[in-house]
């Protein structure tokens, strides 16, 4: 979630807030944070495809986060759906705000019970989170999608199609291939 949180972190810093950024070592997270000059500390890893591996990695990261931040003066935890951060915030009594855009994850009950506020895109059906323990007063919506946030500074290259040999009358679709 580097691309999504980077502009938010930058805005908070511009407004004079101290921001401590931790990231999980998963796919392109660390290289993206490095590429965009996002000062961070890597804690934890992706648990793989199995539920057991994911659960172990989540609890492991939460314990590491707790040890790392327990002596810091953290006044608010903010994340894009970090379950390990939610557990850490709960254990350390740190208020938490989470941004969420996936209603189907089985661990959402952690976020929905711990977070003081859950921010979702306005096209998101808030009621989907109520089944996980969120209350109506916790869930607030914002205009757009997370892509609106991380693409806000995007400046298209006018000559891209010509440089790449793509006919200008064609639709271009990109896809991440693992």
In this predicted model, what pLDDT tens digit does every residue of 124-167 receive, in sequence order?
888 889 999 999 999 999 887 777 777 777 788 888 888 988 88
Buried b (16+ CB within 10 A) or exposed e, 36-73: eebebeebbeebeeeeeebeebbeebbbebbeebeeee
In this predicted model, what pLDDT tens digit does every residue of 61-93 receive, in sequence order?
999 999 999 999 999 999 999 999 999 999 999
Residue from 113, 116, 47 nearest 77 by CA: 116
pTM for the model stands at 0.81
């Amino acid at each position: 979630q580097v691309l999504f949180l980077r502009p938010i972190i930058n805005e908070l810093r511009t407004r004079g807030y101290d921001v401590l950024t931790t990231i999980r070592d998963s796919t392109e997270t660390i290289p993206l944070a490095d590429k965009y000059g996002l000062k961070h500390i890597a804690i934890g890893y992706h648990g793989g495809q199995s539920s057991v591996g994911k659960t172990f990695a989540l609890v492991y990261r939460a314990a590491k986060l707790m040890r790392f931040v327990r002596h810091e003066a953290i006044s608010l935890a903010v994340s894009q759906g970090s379950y390990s951060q939610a557990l850490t915030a709960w254990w350390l009594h740190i208020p938490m705000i989470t941004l969420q855009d996936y209603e189907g994850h089985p661990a959402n009950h952690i976020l929905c019970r711990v977070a003081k506020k859950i921010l979702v895109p306005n096209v998101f059906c808030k009621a989907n989170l109520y089944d996980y323990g969120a209350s109506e007063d916790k869930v607030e919506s914002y205009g757009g999608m997370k892509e609106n946030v991380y693409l806000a500074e995007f400046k298209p290259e006018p000559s891209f199609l010509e440089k790449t040999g793509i006919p200008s009358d064609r639709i271009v679709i990109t896809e991440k291939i693992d």
